[in-house]
Structure 1
Amino acid sequence: MGRLNAGNARRASLRWAAVAVLGATASIVSVTPAAAAPANVVTGTLDWGFKASFRNYVSTGNGNPPIAVADGATRNTNGTFGFTARDGSYDPATGAATVHYGGRVVFSHPEHFFTITMANPTVVVAGTTGSLLADVDLVASGGGLESVSVDQAEIATLDASAGSQPVGPTVTWTNLTTTITETGASAFGDFYGAGTVLDPVSFSLTPAGAPVTPAVTVTPSTGVDPEQATLNVTGSGFNPDAAGGNGIYVAFGPKNDTDYWVNSRRYKSVKWVNKNVTTPSGSQDKLNGDGTFGTALSVAARYTDGNGNAVDCTTVQCYILTFAAHASADRSQDTFTPVTFATPPAGSTDQEITASVRQTGALILTPSGSTVALGAVDPGATATGALNKVTVTDQRGTNAGWSLVGQVENFASPTGGVIAADNLGWAPTASVVDDGLVGAPGVVTPGAVASPGEGTGLATARSLCTSAAGASAGKFECGAQLNLGVPASTTPGDYTATLTVTLS
């Protein structure tokens, strides 16, 4: 049974007894989208990032690149991903919708043995609940991971209780809570357990037959920081070919009813959004073929415009404006979305909040089990199994780093048979346990693969996982696939050994 040895404040050990038993299998269940609704979907967008902590983790890896988008998917300014609707259905009477979006996102981390491709997300909404489906391919190259491939499987559930919001002809759902399913957890290598809350999802659709007119959503549009803020602007229903195909300006500032489209120098910031952009920049962004776009503008309540005039948007109403570019007289692309800034309430006072974080926490090692069962094999073959995952919690407040190593003794049978300790190898895995709070996550690195064989196995202490100084605070899970090479000369029987895992 497992044993926690009391060394010093920074050292603890766990032990398991390994015996031969039967293995287990896992299955993946896909979900079929809801039945077709009365109106076909002609355009729409979906914004989702899967999970910010996962993006941060992959971004530190050695993929080339670590995160890539293809087949029409885009990377938003906040690191999430944008997808464009291909087809779908929408019932305006019930609000039920099934929308298929196109695009592909690839998460690549060869050093940690995986490449995960997520493609063609589908949103299904019925009443207050919904599902997010996708094609996911996990290609594993070691580290105890197993390859997984699913097509249009339910990887997350949606909380649609907030309902939808019509914006012109477009129907939008904003910041819906997403929760990973068992299938999603498996498809993403069990980096997150089923029931973990993922990034929120926002999506839109425009049903066939709806009048297509320009519509803009600005986030945030109220209570904006007057000193400096970034506004995310999304649009739909625009005509990429209007005004000679020159696109539109997206601008922030006041509206002059007579010639607001003539002189862009009066605005705090302006983006030229047009169909010919291939690489977005600080001054340009892409107007998609379906009339949608997404961009960001930096704003402030008070500024001096390009004509030398002082502008105060706390006393004059300012807007996010769209209008045909290059002083075109075409007014079909004009929209005006008001933006208001936060102002302190009359008689308000400030209160400084302080908090003290103690440096009296501990470095803790917690097991998830005390025995490991390897499959029965013939002499000359390899028995495999999974090490019970252990959790390392670093609450010391010093970020001093830690190391987790393992070593095994010889395997022995009741009849006197022996399997040398070096015949046990492992392929370690490691992951950060997300606490859901804002802050820099810790970093954990799995140890090198140890292969069964003289001088290479676990007769010598080998690294299971480590966290370097400066990034060791938090909670982490470490595990491994175990591989026991059984020599051809081994006497049949049940063999047992003790594996000691030590944290320091």
Structure 2
Amino acid sequence: MNLGTHRITRGAVAVLAAAGLAVGATALPASAASTAITGGDADWGVKLSFRNYINGPIAHGTTTLTDGVTQNSDGTYNWPVVSGSYDSVTGDTTVAFGGKVAYDGHGGLLQLAIENVRVEISGGQGDLYADLTSKSLSSGEVEDFPDTNLADLDLGGGAPVLSGGTLTLAPVAATLTEEGAPAFAGFYTAGTALDPIGFSATVDGGPGSGPVPGGVSADQEIVAEVAGGPLTLSVAGDTVVLTGSAVSGAGLNQRASGELNTATVSDLRGTGAGWNLVGQVSDFAGATGSIAASNLGWTPSAAVVDDGLGVPGRVAPGAVVLPGQGLGSARTLAGSPAGSSAGTFTAGAGLELGVPADVAPGSYAATLTLTLS
């Protein structure tokens, strides 16, 4: 098989973690095991498609960031963490964000403001709350939605991780709730995916934090330069041999089957932009005739390779394609959605070639090309 490889790179980004950060108010501890969260930062872009709509040629809108909210290089937002609490026994966590994001589009006909964002985690379940003010394009009315349960967070049954004096939640999926949908100016329905959300918070008095012996404190700034990687495709081999047997059926007197060599996709870009892997085959050519490419079908499969670092991405296999309706045109082998595409994944397929009754005996060969984009 002739397999194409598509590579995408991005520029380097800097990740900065600093000890001794204290911002805003602190939440009172809920139990003896509960400690206050005193600072940090969080990343949440609200929703990519909404940002693009506001900044696009239809809405001709603006986005205003205030009170410490800044924009990341990928267009998402960095929010200051101002307060909260963490229980080291139960894992219960409350993290409050400072700042405000306000959208204005269609000359003021569309308005949406989000502030007082808060993440609450208990019993392995996560919720995102916020105060919202929205003005719908359809009604023109301005409504307030205080302390709205805006989104459910998919924690995968896990919890934030405390290391030293820093409590970290790797970016997790956020899904718009029934309560939150009306606050979104009528743009999206419940169940719609919002941007992933994650945070790095300073825990007051956590292990490794606070003064060193002798009453003298010492801070160190830790700087890591993270180089963006590529989007790559590799395969485990370049030849597949199909073996067949005679069967009965309208127009097809043989079926030849085999397994596609495993394809491995690695998305190290750090953008979460999503990817799609498709395959297409040429006609099978032999010494005395040919077999149409459409006679090759497949049953795709896909899996995530979990390296134990961060939240694994998601991947889905393409649809089953039957012989006679097959790979003469490009068909999806596997794909990963935006926001969940980072990591390494494998994809394969069971292949089945339907051989028409009038095909002469002999050896037939075709080229299957996989394209990653």
What is the TM-score normalised by the length of structure 1?
0.37
What TM-score comes out, normalization by structure 2 length? 0.49
More strand, by proportion: 2
Say which one has the larger Rg: 1
Q: Taking CA–CA contacts closer than 8 Å with sequence separation of 6 or more, which of the two structures ends up with the larger relative contact order?
A: 2
